[in-house]
Chains A and B, each alone.
Chain A
Amino acid sequence: MIAKLTSSERQTAVVIVLLVAIAGIAMAAAGRNAPLGVHGLVVILFAGALLYSLLSAFYAPEPTEEREESYYDDPIKVGIVLAMAWALFGMFMGVWIAAQLAWPNLVFDAAWSTFGRLRPTHTTGVIFGFGGNALIATSFHVVQRTSRARLAGQISPWFVLFGFNLFCVLAVSGYLIGITQSKEYAEPEWYADLWLVVVWVTYFLLYIRTLARRKEPHIYVANWYFMAFILVVAILHIVNNLALPISWGSAKSYTIWPGVQDAMVQWWYGHNAVAFFLTAGFLGMLYYYLPVRAGRPIFSYRLSILSFWGITFFYMWAGSHHLHYTALPQWVQTLGMTFSVMLLVPSWASAGNALLTLNGAWHKVRDDATLRFMMAAAVFYGISTFEGSFLAIRPVNALSHYTDWTVGHVHAGALGWVALISFGSIYTLVPSLWKRERMYSPALIEWHFWLAIAGTLVYVFAMWNSGILQGLMWRTYTEEGSLAYSFLDTLVAMYPYYIARTLGGFLFFAGTAIGCYNIWMTIRLVPATVVSEADLPATRAAPAGE
């Protein structure tokens, strides 16, 4: 890693890490024994670990080869390993909290392990830890290959990757000690949010500067989706997290948005986080890795452009469907509902485009579990976007909202679409990045695939049953006009579904664990591909053990 940096770049990296460490010391000093002080310590330890690895290779020989002759793949490799590690952590937490709902004793009587604190560690772990690292890694890969240019920076890719992971570590460790600003998918407090702005702006500049170096005349559509992801997430993050800390020595802050505006801003953010974090970037993966793996160009490039602008412009307005029957003006609710229904058109255009690309390659889908991951992801994308449009309709929402149906819908998208397309992309990437002939075991990819499909289906069907049952019980009246069921009655009715959901989540988690093992063994054991003469740099400079 560090051997690929020149000595002046190593110095710059040390300075950056020292600045981060100083910020950590300032946080620890200002926060003292308060939660902010604990986070100061976390920042110091994180910077210290990076500083240690930088300094231990500080006097290693400088790179002698022309770096512009090769793609910059080291940050991508680290990003993929981090993504899989976060997947293990986040999905384990998911299984744990699912089990807590069925068996409350699994809280073990501690404050840090209550459902309310562990739930955001699951959502942050899988969305930002797993999804975010997978997005950063694949976006670095796709932008280089489709532009036929090396990343426009030597340190900035590392800054983006480690800076983002510092944000995730601050987020997850904060929840356990009770730090949260109570905004869904935006729980981290003001200092972590400010840090993410710095990281994200660097990411945006790096991406756009790499595109500016491109040798291809046209910017391939996958990059459009990645750009939309980076740009819009920056806007959403800044607007939603505008807040004032109660003092410089406190982790606690209050949002500047009052009342119903706060609710609207939160769900404008929340739904667009689904749109641009969990959809746009992953569509970028779909539009690159699926054609590459299938060996066929995308079915219709025009359609991919139309659906890109459709998704970008429609999603922006859909957030208010989270606030049906609230104090939000009726016309804003209707606007959100209408745009959500319209969203079905560009969403199905993308799903259909992906599936039609596979027309003529179905034998590959049958034989190659990696391609099948991506095919199944496109199918689940189609299903969950249909479900989403349906749930956004006000009378349907009256039944579904606040029930497990919503949870089932989210997981149909997150497990079936986001995770499956990521695994398909990662299985495509790993052998080519580490220059291996193939994955360690195709049979284990099959196991992973079927465990993931079984887990998703068990989970989603359990939540459909549970959610509709719950919604119907809540709205059942007796002849006297009072509610027929108490809240406790609904919990008893949902008990078997909670057990089924835990099982489904466990199956999915088991598949991920198998995937991690397979990737690890590929890196460790599978023989390297024979490199042709033309592919070698003039002088061998990279030391062994890279």
Chain B
Amino acid sequence: MDLDYDTLVAFSKSWGLFYLMGFFLCVVVYAFWPSNRKHFTRAKTSILDQDDKPWR
């Protein structure tokens, strides 16, 4: 197949859109997945515990 300008443009105009939408859905699912909530809550509050030594 001839990989010319028009082929590339057609590819990016179709699949480019699909993969962006697909990626968006994955991110939304990850962000709102119920069992991830406890990780997120821990992550955002644990930065406020300021101890000045690495954990062993």
Residues of A at the B interface (CB closer than 8 Å) are 68-71, 144-146, 148-150, 215-218, 220-221, 288, 291-292, 295-298, 301-302, 305-306, 309, 313, 331, 432, 535
Contacts and interface: CB of A to CB of B under 8 A. Distances in A.
B28 interface: yes
A149 B45 CA distance: 18
Nearest to B42: A218
Interface in B39-56: 39-48, 50-56
A518 B52 CA distance: 24
A291 B23 contact: no
A331 B8 CA distance: 13
Interface string B15-56: 000001001100110111000000111111111101111111
Nearest to B27: A309
Given A69-B54, A291-B44, A295-B48, A305 B27 contact: yes
B40 A302 contact: yes
A70 B20 contact: no
B54 A68 contact: yes
Contacts of A291: 44, 47-48
A532 to B, nearest CB: 10
Contacts of B24: 309
B3 interface: no
Contact of B43 (A144, A220, A535): A220
A69 B27 CA distance: 37
Contacts of B51: 148
Contacts of A150: 54
Nearest to B19: A313
20 contacts: A68-B54, A68-B56, A69-B54, A70-B52, A71-B52, A144-B54, A148-B55, A217-B39, A218-B39, A220-B46, A291-B47, A292-B48, A301-B43, A301-B44, A302-B32, A302-B40, A305-B31, A309-B23, A313-B20, A432-B50
Contacts of A302: 31-32, 40
A436 to B, nearest CB: 13
A300 to B, nearest CB: 9
Nearest to A329: B9
B12 to A, nearest CB: 9
A373 to B, nearest CB: 19
Interface residues of B, number: 27
B53 A71 contact: yes
A149 B23 contact: no
A313 B23 contact: yes
A292 B28 contact: no
Q: Which 4 A-B pairs have the closest CB atoms?
A: A215-B55, A301-B40, A297-B44, A148-B55
Contacts of A296: 48
Contacts of A309: 23-24, 27
A288 B23 contact: no
A357 to B, nearest CB: 10
B46 A70 contact: no
Contacts of A301: 40-41, 43-44
A51 B17 CA distance: 54
A218 B27 CA distance: 16
A220 B40 CA distance: 9
B4 to A, nearest CB: 14
Contact of A297 (B32, B45, B50): B45
B27 A146 contact: no
B42 to A, nearest CB: 7
A511 B17 CA distance: 46
Contact of B40 (A218, A313, A331): A218
Nearest to A537: B53
A216 B43 contact: yes
Nearest to B12: A335
Q: Which of B28, B40, B51, B56 is packed against the most chain A CB atoms within 10 Å? A: B40
Contacts of A69: 53-54, 56
Given A69-B56, A218-B40, A306-B27, 9 more contacts: A68-B56, A144-B54, A150-B54, A216-B43, A288-B47, A301-B43, A305-B27, A313-B23, A331-B13
B26 to A, nearest CB: 9
A145 B43 CA distance: 12
Contacts of A288: 47
Contacts of A305: 27, 30-31, 40
Residue in B20, B41, B50, B54 whose Cβ sees the most chain A Cβ within 10 Å: B54
A145 B53 CA distance: 8
Contacts of A295: 48
Contacts of A220: 43-44, 46-47
A18 B31 CA distance: 49
A511 B42 CA distance: 38
B7 to A, nearest CB: 15
A218 B50 contact: no
B37 to A, nearest CB: 8
B54 A331 contact: no
Contacts of B43: 216, 218, 220-221, 301
Contacts of A68: 54, 56
B53 A535 contact: yes
Given A71-B54, A148-B54, A221-B43, A297 B27 contact: no
A223 to B, nearest CB: 10
A301 B37 CA distance: 9
